[in-house]
Structure 1
Amino acid sequence: MNRTSAKAAVLGTAVLALTACASTPPQGATTAEAKGGAYTWWDPYPQHDAGSAWAKRVGACGQQAGVTIQRTAYDTTALTNQALLAGQEGNAPDVILLDNPAVSTLADAGMLTAMSDFGLEVNRFDKNLITAGELDGKTYGIPIGANTLALYYNKKILDAAGVDPETIKDWVSLNAALKKVKEAGKKPITFAAIGTEEGSFQFLPWFWGAGAQLTQLDSPQAVEALQLWSSWLKDGLAPNSVISNSQNTTWEEFLTGEFAFAENGTWQIDSAAKAGFPTGIVQIPAKAGGTAPTPTGGEFITVPVQKDTKRYDVTKKILECMTTPEGLVETGTTFAYYIPSTADGQQAILAKEPSLKPWVAAVQSAKGRTSDNLGTKYPKISEALWTGVQKALSGAASPADALKEAQAQAKQATGN
């Protein structure tokens, strides 16, 4: 999430991520240099250099498998483009760590090996998480962890406004809380509605929480979700800046101490703990009550097709090392925080960090963006969705008209 980027060009347009990494030169050896006696690993974490805890974590799994891992780090867009190119040239690395919406794109291009082809057990991974790595009934990647969204709150503002966050259970109670904050002279809520994948990512909990489906962007439920967001701007409960807000700028707004709520993700846990005011989180509520499904962010380990299939035996050992309960906890805490993608891993991280309990619950109810077998159709649908959200929030069209146009755009782009 805080390590991923916007959509790539050409074939890479099907790969959408959530926030931008700085473009950094690759670290480590090329595939051709390493194939002799080492195993090659590509990931989207250029901010973690060779001396980082992450690099050591990857290296240790190689050592446990009896090989040396030579790691190359690209930003997400460059990684996806390089992966597609390497697949076309037959020179792919042994392992690629991909943002989860990219898995179906590379699988559809025929460059990934199904987990079943080299005997890796996937049933232990949470079904709602691993579906993002599935295409046409086969699993092409496994999650190293997951992050997702919730509502952070400023306890000082809520106390002053007489709002108990525990009472926020549905849209009615949330709206009541926001109005109390405004009446107390404070700013109620901020979020990211920027015209990129980040905007879709932040809108999806409200969209899904209303009961809408990505196959029908203009359903009555979808319109209700967009009407909710639009009403917040119209009624002064959210600032107009949300139209151009990224998740990072939204978080910067929240850290000023002026907002009661901000929609943001697991990756802000450490930052929230260091804020100059007490914070907490509540789950994003569904319209009629309960927790809304939130989209999953996070990377999947994938295995590109190799001409020498004997390499898969060692690759399997590397993947198993990365995804033991202990391994998932180590990855989760290295990135502060990823929630482990298995029940055993979640229990293990809670034993170490009990405060993560609300985030574990959020991940357990989350949903992959490419789920429902959307696969490579998702990026086209998402672009139509964020375009519609932008039109409605800017006042260029009503929520109903904006989503009617969005549905037409998605239908034309996907062919159905």
Structure 2
Amino acid sequence: MRHTRRTLLAAVAVIGTLASATACGGGSGSSSSSSGKSGATYTFWDPYPQFDASSAWGKLVTKCGTDAGVKVKRTGMDTTDLGNKALLAAQQGNAPDVMLVDNPVVSTLVEAGILNKTSDLGLDTSAIQKNVIGAGTIDGSPYGVPIGANTLALYYNKKVLSAAHVDPASIKDWASLTAALEKVKAAGKKGITFSAINTEEGSFQFLPWFWGAGGDLTKLNSPKGVAALSLWKQWVDEGYAPKDVLQNTQTTSWQEFATGDYAFGENGTWQLGNAAKAGFPYGVISIPGQNGGSAPVPTGGEFVTVPVQKDSSRYDVSKKIVTCLTSSANLLSTDNTLMYVAPTQEVQAQQVKANPQLKPWVDAVAAARGRTSGGLGTKYPTISQPMWTAVQSALSGSKSPKDALDTAQTAAAKGKS
């Protein structure tokens, strides 16, 4: 498939705004050409530079190649670098054979014309939860297979809540959560920490509150959106949340929660390993909706994709590698390593049986939404950046929540990212 340089460069600009919502280190890599015959080398890119060849993940990638009769040359790099390199490699005609990409990036790569439909490859995605596969589905067709999903919930410190006489089971909506924060502050402790940074991480963390109020991403400045931003501003203004949420990444926000001084920390599945080492008893509850129930949360996680190749005979082996990586047995082992919730109910049940603490996360994933779902696709970055800018403006006090979201909506409507 041929593409103009303008289309690919535009896609590079879009990916630049979609930094991964989960924490990954830096890295770099390159593709190498090879024949599609058995015993050949197949290139594989992923956003896990923190895992080397000796890791459980590195060994699985190697094994899946061996089982398919080929050698896999794996390169790990950060999400933005990976997406940009994929677009440029496609332009040069040397895209990797298999690529693991953050789910919001899928629609951008599809628009650039460099990913194959799973149906064209004969890959079966029927067992994948609809909302999880939806993050990589464009015009009704999936363009990859999710390796797992992660999302957000509220971690809580049992000691802090107990000292403030707060029962976590009483937190069912925004009013009861705010009342709990008030009690915690009165008891001499700190309330809640989260990330409101001016990157995709800030939007990722704001979305549960925005959606939990009934907000619509195509109408950022609706009264529902304003209610969500007003809630965060109230917390900062009243000292229930620290002012440094404006600079907090999800990592630094976790570090604040891990001090043991905070009652709540909004964070993700990927912090479970750190939670076990925190040194204090903790629990997890769903992020509440404004008027009760669990708020929809955004799905994080990656899709295994097969980029378009000039030599279509390579697809058979690529399909075998994807099938191996996403088999039930391997999902169970790798999702434990990656701290992901599996994308199928079968494997989720096995995960919860092995670790009952995953139950709230499985429930959260079941209620989650893809950031690019609902037909947003590549429009999402042009909405997300004005949204996180509005959060910054409101929490810093430079604009009221309504004025900040009015400005954001105007920018989003013009397609300015």
TM-score (norm 2): 0.94
Which of 192, 196, 199 does residue 193 from structure 1 map onto?
196
**Residue number in structure 2 paired with 1:98:** 101
- Say whether the 8 Å CA contact 2:23–2:251 is kept in structure 1: no
Give the deviation of 1:215 after TM superposition: 0.7
- Render the CA deviation track for 1:330-369: whole Å, top value 9, x for unaligned: 111122x110001111112122222211111111111111
2-structure distance, mates of 1:205, 1:273: 24
**Residue number in structure 2 paired with 1:383:** 385
2-structure distance, mates of 1:197, 1:81: 16
Which of 18, 25, 40 does residue 15 from structure 1 map onto?
18
Which of 398, 401, 413 does residue 415 from structure 2 map onto?
413
Matches within 5 A, 1:113-152: 113-152=116-155
**Residue number in structure 1 paired with 2:368:** 366
- Render the CA deviation track for 1:147-185: whole Å, top value 9, x for unaligned: 111111110010011011011111111111111111111
The SS at the match of 1:18 is: coil
Runs (5+) with no aligned partner, structure 2: 1-10
Q: Would the alpha carbon gap of residues 223 and 274 (structure 1) be closer, same or farther in structure 2, given more than 3 Å must change?
A: same
Give the deviation of 1:305 after TM superposition: 0.6
Query: Percent of aligned positions with the same letter in both sequences?
Result: 58
- Render the CA deviation track for 1:212-244: whole Å, top value 9, x for unaligned: 011110011000000100110111111111111
The SS at the match of 1:31 is: coil
- Render the CA deviation track for 1:301-354: whole Å, top value 9, x for unaligned: 01101122222222222211112221111111122x110001111112122222
Amino acid at match of 2:235: W
Amino acid at match of 1:238: A
- Render the CA deviation track for 1:220-277: whole Å, top value 9, x for unaligned: 1000000100110111111111111111111111111111101011011011111121
**Residue number in structure 2 paired with 1:5:** none
2-structure distance, mates of 1:74, 1:235: 41
**Residue number in structure 2 paired with 1:275:** 278
Give the deviation of 1:134 after TM superposition: 1.2
1-structure distance, mates of 2:128, 2:301: 14
Amino acid at match of 1:32: S
2-structure distance, mates of 1:252, 1:97: 28
**Residue number in structure 1 paired with 2:356:** 354
- Say whether the 8 Å CA contact 1:16–1:102 is kept in structure 2: no
- Say whether the 8 Å CA contact 2:16–2:80 is kept in structure 1: no
- Say whether the 8 Å CA contact 1:324–1:345 is kept in structure 2: no
Confirm or deny that 1:78 pairs with 2:81: yes
- Render the CA deviation track for 1:50-80: whole Å, top value 9, x for unaligned: 1111110111112222222121122222211
- Say whether the 8 Å CA contact 2:154–2:265 is kept in structure 1: yes
Q: How many residues align?
A: 405
**Residue number in structure 2 paired with 1:341:** 343
2-structure distance, mates of 1:326, 1:345: 8
- Say whether the 8 Å CA contact 1:325–1:348 is kept in structure 2: no
Amino acid at match of 2:367: S
Matches within 5 A, 1:237-256: 237-256=240-259
TM-score (norm 1): 0.94
The SS at the match of 2:298 is: coil
**Residue number in structure 2 paired with 1:183:** 186
2-structure distance, mates of 1:199, 1:23: 20
Q: Would the alpha carbon gap of residues 182 and 14 (structure 1) be closer, same or farther in structure 2, given more than 3 Å must change?
A: closer
2-structure distance, mates of 1:367, 1:20: 20
- Say whether the 8 Å CA contact 1:44–1:76 is kept in structure 2: yes
- Say whether the 8 Å CA contact 1:40–1:71 is kept in structure 2: yes
Runs (5+) with no aligned partner, structure 1: 1-7
Give the deviation of 1:14 after TM superposition: 5.3
- Say whether the 8 Å CA contact 1:377–1:414 is kept in structure 2: no
Aligned-pair Cα RMSD in Å: 1.6
Q: More deviation in 279-288 or 347-356?
A: 347-356
**Residue number in structure 1 paired with 2:157:** 154
1-structure distance, mates of 2:283, 2:364: 14
Amino acid at match of 2:393: K
Q: More deviation in 13-22 or 179-188?
A: 13-22
2-structure distance, mates of 1:77, 1:201: 16
The SS at the match of 1:101 is: helix
Which of 292, 299, 303 does residue 300 from structure 1 map onto?
303
- Render the CA deviation track for 1:264-305: whole Å, top value 9, x for unaligned: 110110111111211111110011111101111111101101
2-structure distance, mates of 1:240, 1:277: 24
1-structure distance, mates of 2:415, 2:128: 32
Confirm or deny that 1:207 pairs with 2:205: no
Which of 307, 315, 319 does residue 316 from structure 1 map onto?
319
Amino acid at match of 1:393: L
2-structure distance, mates of 1:324, 1:10: 34
